[in-house]
Amino acid sequence: MTHKKIIVFSLFLIISSSSLFGFNNEIIPKPDSQIFSTGEFILSNKTNINFSENFKISAYFLKDFLKINNEQNNYINEINFLYKDITNDEGYILEILEKNINIYSKTNKGAFYAVQTLRQLFPFELEKNKSDINSVKIPCQVIKDSPKFSYRGMHLDVSRHMFSVDFIKKYIDALAMLKFNTFHWHLTEDQGWRVEIKKYPKLNSIGSYRDSTLIGHYTDKPVTFDKTRYGGYYTQEEIKDIVAFANAREVLIIPEIEMPGHAQAAIASYPFLSCEQKQIGVASTWGVFEDIYCTRESTFTFLEDVIDEVMDLFPGKYIHIGGDEAPKNRWKKCNDCQNLIKSEKLKDEHELQSYFITRMEKYINSNGKKIIGWDEILDGGLAPNATVMSWRGESGGIKAAQMGHEVIMSPNANLYFDHYQSKKEGEPVAIGGFTPIEEVYNYNPIPKELDENDKKYIIGAQANVWTEYMKTSDQVEYMVFPRILALSEVLWSSNKTNFTEFKLRAEKYFKRLDKLDINYSKHLEKEETK
Ligand code: ACM
Ligand code: ZN
């Protein structure tokens, strides 16, 4: 190559991979590579979509998104779903030529993510108005892409506040758009039991409702209450519908049934489940509560029955059984719990918690499923096959990885979306903390402390959305967006750049959120003043 040719070629490479020259290079999460060429594909209602059975879910999603009728003979160009043996199951190649668009992947997952990328190459107006797709032009290009982590999760607590079936679907839809593959659905708590369990109807008639709800922040004095009865639950039919909706978006739902703590709503429904066996109410304040499940045999029978119904509803391989924030005072004073410590030759109440979790793990494993627990499940000995969700920082996750257990990072300092995102005056009341979007963007789920061999146990990360201070779905969206954009890039993008570059793309993404009627905070800066 002559000098001149090298310069021209280098310039071409820079232009073709840069956002500075006006090309549409604002995809979130950022793909591995995006190389433009000349020409454009013109979308039309005479575009045909071709697919085989393997790619049906993705093709239907695209057809539904574009409102294209596939049964036409007079088509002028095509979008083809094609099999290719790509190393990563969730990876894809998206090839945009003048005559057709080719989506190559090994599985429907890869094809689905190609569709989500293609969606971002369309003008954002298409999110709302499909009436005229004929003028849509997409520059010719090839995008090669695959995820960095296999577990890309978002959590939602529906117990402190509950949200409609329509909102749960909207949330899952947004997760899928950003290439998240897991929705951790926190279904039981002290303040409300939200999943219909047919064998124990009082869980719903009693446990799903609280008489009153704390007003303001839980540190406010004097304490005041809204005396309105609050609650509800998702029926099994509604859950099946949501699971099918998630399945059509390659999102796995992990249900969480908390134990042994955060169980006050269950105990209010069935007092035999606690050590003291006294009638208590569903909690109306926030925090950690003393009444937890007793370790009597009758509790295990109850929990196994509950888990049976939950396993029937959720076909995925994981059941989350909580394990966090379980005070041991009741167990210390309970004859039944103390007798079990003696008969099982356990050292203390922490080992009793480990016994509890390990016993439930055995039951869940025997049904072909795996457990996930918060990092407290390490205390007193980790159940043999458990996946650990590290929330009290990273140390639990590091320890579990060094023991050869799968780990999901969810440290509260970096990934708790119930924390404030701005220190500016006028932010809605939140639990506390400060987790600006830049902190999320710069988070690396692989701790430096891990050696090469143990890094593989970190399967991904997740942000948690605890809803004590989120009464409405608008407020949930405000806390989640745009921090979720940053997390999507942490989890998906191997060629993340820097926050300044990301911010430019995030700002453009806001227009898409507007069309989707998704509420979001505009805090992209790390303000230091309050
Ligand atoms: C948690 O935030 N208690 C897991
Ligand atoms: Zn007890």
pLDDT digits (tens, 9 = 90+) for 327-344: 999 999 999 999 999 999
* C-alpha 355 to ligand 2 mean position (Å): 13
Closest among 495, 518, 389, 506 to 438, alpha carbons compared: 506
Residue 168, domain extent: 151-515
324 CB within 6 A, ligand 1: yes
pLDDT reported for residue 19? 35
Q: Considering the chain, what percentage of its residues have pLDDT values greater than 90?
A: 88
Same domain, 133 and 184: no
Residue nearest to atom 3 of ligand 1 (CA): 324
Same domain, 72 and 161: no
Mutate to test the pocket of ligand 1, among 375, 465, 466 (most ligand atoms within 8 A of CB): 466
Q: Considering the chain, what percentage of its residues have pLDDT values greater than 70?
A: 93
pLDDT reported for residue 72? 65
325 CB within 6 A, ligand 1: yes
pLDDT reported for residue 92? 98
- The stretch 91-110 carries a mean pLDDT of 98
Same domain, 127 and 274: no
204 located within any domain: yes
Taking CA atoms, 135 is separated from 41, 70, 244, 252, in Å, by: 10, 19, 34, 36
Under the banding of pLDDT at 50, 70 and 90, the label for residue 425 is confident
- Over its C-alpha atoms, the chain yields an Rg (Å, rounded) of 25
393 CB within 6 A, ligand 1: no
Same domain, 196 and 129: no
- Domain CATH for 107: 3.30.379.10
Mutate to test the pocket of ligand 1, among 184, 191, 262, 325 (most ligand atoms within 8 A of CB): 325
Mutate to test the pocket of ligand 1, among 374, 419, 462 (most ligand atoms within 8 A of CB): 374
Count other C-beta atoms under 10 Å from residue 227's C-beta: 10
97 located within any domain: yes
Under the banding of pLDDT at 50, 70 and 90, the label for residue 4 is low
Same domain, 287 and 334: yes
Same domain, 117 and 132: yes
279 located within any domain: yes
Tell me how far apart the alpha carbons of residues 487 and 36 are, in angstroms, rounded to a whole number: 26
416 CB within 6 A, ligand 1: no
As for how many domains the chain has, the answer is 2
Same domain, 494 and 386: yes
- Domain CATH for 306: 3.20.20.80
What is the overall mean pLDDT for the chain? 93
Closest ligand by atom to 189 CA: 1
Residue pair 179/487 in contact by the 8 Å Cβ criterion: no
Query: Among all chains, which residue has been given the structure tokens 């009793």?
Result: 352
The residue from 145, 180, 196 where one domain ends is 145
Same domain, 114 and 189: no
Q: Say yes or no to pLDDT of 5 above 90.
A: no
Closest ligand by atom to 337 CA: 2
Q: Say yes or no to pLDDT of 259 above 90.
A: yes
528 located within any domain: no
Strand partners, 226: 213
Tell me how far apart the alpha carbons of residues 198 and 185 are, in angstroms, rounded to a whole number: 19
* C-alpha 299 to ligand 2 mean position (Å): 10
Q: Say yes or no to pLDDT of 77 above 60.
A: yes
